Amino acid sequence: MSKAVKQQILISGVGGQGVLFITGLLAEAAINKGLAVFTSETHGMAQRGGTVVSHFKVGDFSSPLIRPFQADGLLVLKDENIAQHGSFLRAGGWAVVNSSNDVKINKDLTASAVDADRLAQEIANPKALNLIVLGLALARAGRKRRDRINLFCSLADVKKVLQKRFGGRQKIRDASIKALEAGYKELRN
Amino acid sequence: MSKSKRRLLLGNEAIARGLIESGCAIATSYPGTPASEILAAVAFFQNQESLPIHTQWAVNEKVAFEVAYAGCQTGLRVAVSMKQVGLNVASDPLMSAAYLGVKGGFVLISADDPGPHSSQTEQDSRLMAMFAKIPVLDPDSPRQAKELMGIAYDLSEAYQIPVMVRPTTRVCHSRQDIALGAIPKTKRAVNFEKNPARWAATPKFRLQLHGELEEKLNAIAKYRPTAPKKLNRTSRATRAIIASGVAAAHIKDILKELKIWSKIPFYQVVQPFPLHSKFIDQMIETYEEILVIEETMGVIEMQLADRYRVKGKMSATVPKVGELSPEKIQQIVTDFAGLKSEVFSIKSPPSRRPTLCPGCPHRASFFAIKKAAPKGIYTSDIGCYTLGLNMGAVDTVLCMGAAISQASGFYHAYKNEKKRPDIVATIGDSTFFHAGVPALIDAVVQKVGFVLVILDNRTTAMTGNQPTPATGQGACGEPTGIVDIRSLVEGCGVKFIREANPYELKNFIPLLKEAVKYSRKNGPAVVISKYPCVLHRARQGESGESIPVEVSDACDGCGYCIKHFECPALIYHDDEDDKHVSIDPILCTACGVCLNVCPKGAFVEKQ
């Protein structure tokens, strides 16, 4: 396989936003590429509308959890969570946030923001805000310029996972891919 | 590793797969976070592969344990899974089964929850294993948890003893890519050999069995497949680290990252009890200082006899309370290694508190209870409805079933007072079956004046919608017998029983008032509040009547609904000149319950 890929991404939101769903997509994408994957999730009481966070690791890791200042990337589905999870990001890391405004993660980094709640309403798929945020991150991974982020998978990889996941359920499959692409197209020049 | 055979498995799914690949024939459980997905995954693989396994959700952990135990008495391999506080409920058969031993392999999975994330306590099941005198294995990852199932069965059968496997939340609820193995096709003979001297041993024989149990433990402390492993073989030093469970996984990464992997000898203990006797001797002989890191109590530490050389919980080197996060461990390891320490921990603001879902029928029940007994004492129980706390409708939560017995206790405490408070207990349907029934019988016998509201949402909601005895469906979706809650309450001897839909607040509040009035003079009154869980309905593809609501100009922003109804779909706008409430269209389920909540009548049906 490729030279040792090692990436840690923290995915943060609240119960019901689909944090676990996009974590699962990234994990499937990693497995499809023959990479080792390790994720850690929130279950139980905290899922009832409370803060939900998942730790996602691809590559050779023994520990399921990301330590503070170690995450390569941050996907934030609820911008209020930045106060809680912003400091997981390492120096030089990237962040993509669901927010109507630009969001400063720390003094050196302003996150890419996408108003995924609004965009999801516009494409008549209000629950797909998670895919929109992921879409934007994938767009940055596809860049060649300075705002490029290092992500182990591409838009095509995640689309492939969605296609397999939803199989013959065409309506939900197409709606999901549309949401992912809507986020992807949000990246302005 | 080939691509095709690896699958992303949740720790609990890996455990289930390990059970099945080891020939488990009976699997039982009562749901509880973080253990709930184990049995569901056994049922999934069973359906997928058409395996002749008996898989069941039992009424509680004690029954689950005993059903599985009888299975191993016939020579089958069996498993029972539960969360750590569930093991308290099953501790009675556990203690006795340790003496009697097993014939077929018996694996007890007790999942701990350091943190705690979703539990009443941070208790360490490994200490329960030590108390019961059975061996316990402590996996560090989903992958190891799967491997340990086969090892646990072999150990169990080699010494005819129940074996505990103790995963923690971080093992149960991580996902890892794992290679699937083959499922054995051979079926074991079922053969219960009568031997009353053993299976029904009297105290005299119990003494003998106790002696045999100690001999078994001595032998298991020499059992090679579960012996501790030095992970960095070539390292030499005067100080060493010992760890088990997920703490060992964290330490592996930390030592490598700090570039001291080859500097400090690092041992992983897979079987914390009984700790291998040779290992104890070797550690004490070899090292001047030994750091022990484990969750949540010092089980390994207390078996290393030398207090001067061992650093851990007893020396206050490792915290006794809370989950051992990797950043805490990094600090401890850095200090122990004599490296310059950095501050790794971060102070973060509190998380968003969990809350009842929008459209949850419990919210309607709690709102009505506060209306019917505004100054009452509200005892409650373990389940989603514990979140009635947020509405001020839950005053006590102790353990499963205690809502009813505590209501009795409060009644007796106030019995001779002039002013006696109304008492309203709330308990979920699954919890009522689990541990509420004996408490209700007791309350009937003692003529306790209180109202019991059974929150019947037709499911075990908090843990992921497992069936209850009233559901009529088993773990694999097969039809089962049904126990009707109303008949059960009648059978307990309760004379006042009403069933009603809490969504219909207009009827539900007066009904509760009637029950409260009855209870003051006549003893227990039971109201069964019947409405299905919204999540469960959504999963089943059912939908209820939709009553879309909007906020009229009558809203003056008083905040009553926010405080007393606490629906996540209600948004408060704290604008200087225009304080008001609006409804979040994504979260609202159009249950229509809020129509009867606003004192000014500002919630109106959308035309």
User: How many angstroms separate the CA atoms of B260 and B241, rounded?
Assistant: 12
pLDDT digits (tens, 9 = 90+) for A163-182: 999 988 999 999 999 999 99
Average pLDDT over residues B229-256: 95
- B227-336 folds as Rossmann fold (3.40.50)
Nearest chain A CA: its distance from B318 CA (Å): 18
Residue B3 is predicted with a pLDDT of 43
- Fold held by A7-185: Pyruvate-ferredoxin Oxidoreductase; domain 3 (3.40.920)
How high is the pLDDT of residue A1?
42
Handedness of CA B557, B559, B560, B564 (dihedral sign): positive
Pick from A39, A48, A67: CB nearest B174 = A39
CA dihedral A91→A97→A102→A103, nearest 10 degrees, is -50
Say what the pLDDT of residue B348 is: 66
- Using alpha carbons, select from A33, A63, A77 the residue that is nearest to residue B1: A33
Binary contact (B173, A87; C-beta < 8 A): no
Burial of B98 (0-12, 13-18, 19+ CB in 10 A): buried
Could you read off the pLDDT of A41-78 as tens digits, one per residue? 876 555 566 788 999 999 999 999 999 999 999 999 99
Pairing relationship of beta strands B570-574 and B579-583 according to DSSP bridges: antiparallel
Which of B348, B382, B390 to substitute to test the interface with A, most A CBs within 10 Å?
B348
Q: Do A61 and B253 touch (CB under 8 A)?
A: yes
Q: Does domain B6-223 have CATH number 3.30.1600.10?
A: no
| pLDDT top residue among B211 and A168 | B211
pLDDT at B4 over 80: no
**Which residue would you say has higher pLDDT here, B349 or B102?**
B102
**pLDDT at residue B425 in the model:** 98
Q: What distance in Å separates residue B33's CA from the closest CA in chain A? A: 6
> What is the Cα–Cα distance from A22 to A75, expressed in whole angstroms?
10
Q: How confident is the model at residue B149 (pLDDT cuts 50, 70, 90)?
A: very high
Domain ranges (residues) in chain A: 7-185
| Nearest CA distance, B407 vs chain A (angstrom) | 24
Q: What is the pTM of this model?
A: 0.94
Give ipTM to 2 decimals: 0.91
Q: Is B351 close to A32, i.e. CB distance below 8 A?
A: no
CA distance B588 to B54: 41
**Chain B nearest-CA residue for A14:** B352
Report how far residue A102's alpha carbon sits from residue A91's, in angstroms, rounded to the nearest whole number: 19
A126 with B344: Cβ contact below 8 A: no
Q: What are the counts of helices (DSSP H) followed by strands (DSSP E) for chain A?
A: 6, 7
- Provide the edge-to-edge strand list for the sheet that holds B525-530: B396-397, B377-380, B423-428, B451-456, B525-530, B496-500
pLDDT digits (tens, 9 = 90+) for B316-352: 999 999 999 999 999 999 999 998 866 566 666 677 7
How long, in residues, is chain A? 189
d(CA B70, CA B102) in angstroms, rounded, equals: 9
For residues A22 and A153, the answer to whether their CB atoms sit within 8 Å is no
Q: Which residues of chain A neighbour B33 with C-beta distances below 8 Å? A: 43-45
Q: How confident is the model at residue B70 (pLDDT cuts 50, 70, 90)?
A: very high
Q: What is the pLDDT of residue B528?
A: 98
B336 in Cβ contact with B239 (< 8 Å): yes
- For the cut 60, the answer to whether the pLDDT of residue A38 exceeds it is yes
Q: Is B549-605 a CATH 3.30.70.20 domain?
A: yes
Q: What is the pLDDT of residue A147?
A: 75
What element of type H or E holds B522? helix B505-522
What pLDDT score was predicted for residue B2?
A: 43
Nearest to B568 by CA among B555, B552, B581: B581
Quote the CA–CA distance of A31 and A29 in Å, as a whole number: 6
- Do B6-223 and B361-540 fold alike per CATH? yes
pLDDT tens digits along B380-415 = 999 999 999 999 999 999 999 999 999 999 999 999
Q: Which pairs with CB-CB distance under 8 Å and at least 24 residues apart come from B194-199?
A: B198/B100, B198/B101, B199/B73, B199/B100
Q: Do A64 and B384 touch (CB under 8 A)?
A: no
Residues of chain A whose C-beta is under 8 A from some C-beta in B? 14-16, 24, 27-28, 30-32, 34, 36-51, 61-65, 67-69, 80, 83-85, 87-88, 126-127
Residues of chain B found within 8 Å of residue A62, distances taken between Cβ atoms: 140-141, 249-250, 252-253
What are the DSSP calls for B284-348, one per residue?
HHH-SEEEEE-SSS-HHHHHS--TTTEESTTTTSS-SSS---HHHHHHHHHHHTTPPP-------
CA distance readout (Å), B197 to A163, B192, B234, B556: 61, 14, 52, 77
> Do A30 and B345 make contact, defined as CB atoms within 8 angstroms?
no
CB B466 within 8 A of CB B31: yes
User: Which among A31, A45, A51 has the least Cβ separation from residue B118?
Assistant: A45
Q: Please identify which residue in the block is written with the tokens 């009547």.
A: B545
Span B203-219, average pLDDT:
97
Distance CA B20, CA B26 (A): 10
Q: What is the mean pLDDT of chain B?
A: 95
**CATH 3.90.190.20 assigned to B361-540:** no
Residues of A in contact with B384 (CB under 8 A): 45, 48
Give residue A108's pLDDT.
82
Helices then strands, counting H and E runs in chain B, come out as 22, 23
Mean pLDDT of chain A: 90
Retrieve residue B368's tokens: 């009505």
* Pairing relationship of beta strands B310-311 and B289-293 according to DSSP bridges: parallel
